[in-house]
Amino acid sequence: MDAPRSAAIENLMDERRTFVPDPAFVARANATADLYAEAERDYVAFWERLARERISWSKPFETTLEWDLPFAKWFVGGELNVAYNCLDRHVEAGRGDKVAYHWVGEPGETRSLTYADLLREVGKAANALRELGVEKGDRVAIYMPMIPELPIAMLACARIGAPHTVVFGGFSAEALSGRINDCGAKVLITADGGYRRGKEVGLKHHADEAMASTPTIEHAIVVNRLGHGVHMVPFRDHWWHDLVGRQSADCPPVAVDSEHMLYLLYTSGTTAKPKGILHTTAGYLLGTSFTHEMIFDLKPDDVYWCAADIGWVTGHSYIVYGPLANGATGVMYEGAPDTPSWDRWWQIVEDYKVSILYMAPTAIRAFMKQGPQYPAAHDLSSLRVLGSVGEPINPEAWLWYHEHVGRGAAPIVDTWWQTETGMILISPLPGVTTTKPGSATFPFPGIKADVVDADGVSVPLGGGGYLVLKQPWPAMLRGIYGDQERYRETYWSRFPGMYFAGDGAKRDEEGYYWLLGRVDDVMNVAGHRISTTEVESALVDHRSVAEAAVVGVKDEVSGQAIYAFVILKASGEPSDALAVQLREHVAYVIGPIARPKYLMFVPDLPKTRSGKIMRRLLRDIAEGRTLGDTTTLADATVVDTIRENSGSAEE
């Protein structure tokens, strides 16, 4: 089984099931195949047309794109305001009574905010920031639970041209202060706390601890969510309900340049200092809103629910900016999927007649583990489009989602993108694309992707390699805050002239893209570059398996050997016989080269707070090393449990 010289990563899995769009869906679909052709002819003209049609400008732009690789400027000379585009224009058009967010708190309370409500609250919050001395260009840090004040705070910043940096509410004081200091934020907006898994989770004490070492912070605004009082530092800390509550709702939007910084979002590097990914105004607004309308087939009466946290880019682009620019009605849920029980999400879908649902494969696999009885107990017939994001989705998880959530009818859009890309770049268009379970299918119109080998040469169809992007797109990052050299080095130096995303991918004979995970995770077994994703998918393909993570461990004979960590479905029983069966199953599905040498049953896997498996820690465990940095780990007890059992791996 000799690899062709150019194969950077082997293509082992062969998934042949296909799903053709339903004619009834096609007849009403927002997207048509013409978009590909139009963008192919002239991608700059394509984005220019869309920017003129979709964005409300205070001053029209003159030049569509200035591309000085790797620095892009889109819609040069234009002026606009994002909050105006997300709120005022809908209210002015008579849609003020349309619901922007149905919010559900974990303990059960609900709030619905219309576009008019949101506009009023954003105006008041923007005036509050003004009162604290925040001016256009000043940075504001936001550290909040999933409550309506979070998008309100973001839009208030956008309204006055103050870039925000949202720090996920699950992060520590140290992570918060590091980010505040990197961008020199002047104000911090936070809350006393929120609810998660039936418990109160305090935030203000972390914020206080962080503010002890953030000299640039002058004021904090604190939302009273839990309601039993927290320590407030006189003159520095202000209750939201006092300060925002007493403001006028009238706050004229400040027109800013197309390239004005809208926000920074820090990616937690596993070893190095977090990078402040910089996004600007017009291109980001266009990229997120257009992809949202096409990829989710958004119609005026849809109820759209992206079940991510706003602390991640998915929430920025597809809970806040994209959907609001499109005037969508969204659902926002504060808490965990298993509280009070594993059918919480399905109850919400039923209650609000959610028609579009967007979530992560890690959640799908968690639901798979619990079994189909939870979705089956609810009326999910309102669902008509399902999305997936954040990791490769295994074909079996895709099929489970299709059958048990989408009732075999709703198209699935597997969307590939990154914090850096700002918008979805590879995805099916529902009603246009024939899908294959596990494939993100094709680059979005106007996006030029490729799969290249180690020398940057395009790999022929059927082969695997490194995923790159070969032309700029409107929502792309504009750099790393304060360190443009690192920007060039991180993304543009591996393959000169191309953006390297850090992901492996393969294309099948029909040109479908299959994401293979981070290239740092690729294993080298006897000279074959094997993707962790493909072996994991082969394991999940077995009826007893809910989730799997594999890593390469040092091996005297083969260089690396495959070590698999397996979570069984609730119905499965760990046994030596099953371990043997699973290893054989991988050999059967993708070939003997990929048969795991070691296999261990585990109750859970170490994940980041955004749900990505931390394979680095699994490698440490498998090779018996002391653990590296665990600060981004969501639940530290998981590794201890795995470690205690790690002597018992099957060989």
The site for ligand WTA (CB under 6 A) is made up of 267, 312-314, 389-392, 414-419, 440, 501-503, 515, 518, 610
Shortest Å distance, C-beta 525 to ligand WTA: 21
Shortest Å distance, C-beta 536 to ligand WTA: 12
Shortest Å distance, C-beta 529 to ligand WTA: 17
SS3 at position 165: strand
Nearest residue (CB) to ligand WTA, 267 versus 382? 267
Shortest Å distance, C-beta 418 to ligand WTA: 4
SS3 at position 570: coil
Nearest residue (CB) to ligand WTA, 161 versus 392? 392
Nearest residue (CB) to ligand WTA, 225 versus 402? 402
Shortest Å distance, C-beta 422 to ligand WTA: 9
Nearest residue (CB) to ligand WTA, 125 versus 467? 467
Shortest Å distance, C-beta 522 to ligand WTA: 12
Nearest residue (CB) to ligand WTA, 560 versus 610? 610
Give the span between the Cα atoms of 416 and 564, in whole angstroms.
25
Shortest Å distance, C-beta 132 to ligand WTA: 31
Give the span between the Cα atoms of 8 and 351, in whole angstroms.
48
Nearest residue (CB) to ligand WTA, 269 versus 628? 269
Residue 238 pairs with which residues in a beta bridge? Answer: 221
Nearest residue (CB) to ligand WTA, 289 versus 610? 610
Helix/strand/coil (H, E, C) string of 481-529? CCCHHHHHHHHHCCCCCCEEEEEEEEECCCCCEEEEEEHHHCEEECCEE
Nearest residue (CB) to ligand WTA, 450 versus 503? 503
Q: Which token pair is 610?
A: 């955004």
Give the span between the Cα atoms of 139 and 81, in whole angstroms.
17
Q: Residue 79's CB: how many other CB atoms inside 10 A?
A: 18
Nearest residue (CB) to ligand WTA, 324 versus 501? 501
CB half-sphere exposure, 403, CA atoms < 13 A: 12
Nearest residue (CB) to ligand WTA, 230 versus 549? 549
Nearest residue (CB) to ligand WTA, 260 versus 615? 615
Neighbour-count burial of 112, counting CB atoms closer than 10 A to its CB (0-12 exposed, 13-18 middle, 19+ buried): middle
Residue 389 pairs with which residues in a beta bridge? Answer: 415
Give the span between the Cα atoms of 262 and 266, in whole angstroms.
14
Closest residue by Cα to residue 375 from 406, 404, 352 = 404
Nearest residue (CB) to ligand WTA, 489 versus 640? 489
SS3 at position 475: coil
In 132-218, DSSP assigns E strands to 140-143, 164-166, 187-191, 193-196, 199-202
Q: Give residue 426's Cα distance to chain centre.
A: 13
Per-residue exposure over 335-373, b if at least 16 CB sit within 10 Å of its own CB, e if not: bebbbeebbbbbebbbebebbbbbbbbbbbbbbbbbeee
Amino acid found at 412: I
Shortest Å distance, C-beta 201 to ligand WTA: 22
Helix/strand/coil (H, E, C) string of 1-31? CCCCCCCCECCCCCCCCCECCCHHHHHHCCC
Nearest residue (CB) to ligand WTA, 282 versus 440? 440
Q: Are strands 412-415 and 385-389 parallel, antiparallel or unpaired?
A: parallel
In 214-301, DSSP assigns E strands to 219-223, 237-239, 256-257, 261-267, 275-280
Shortest Å distance, C-beta 417 to ligand WTA: 5
Number of alpha helices (DSSP H) and beta strands (DSSP E) in the chain = 22, 30
Shortest Å distance, C-beta 540 to ligand WTA: 14
In contact, 444 and 291? CB cutoff 8 Å: yes
Q: Which token pair is 650?
A: 């099957």
How far apart, in Å, are the Cα atoms of 223 and each of 171, 226, 245?
18, 9, 11
Residue 465 pairs with which residues in a beta bridge? Answer: 505
Shortest Å distance, C-beta 81 to ligand WTA: 26
Nearest residue (CB) to ligand WTA, 148 versus 504? 504
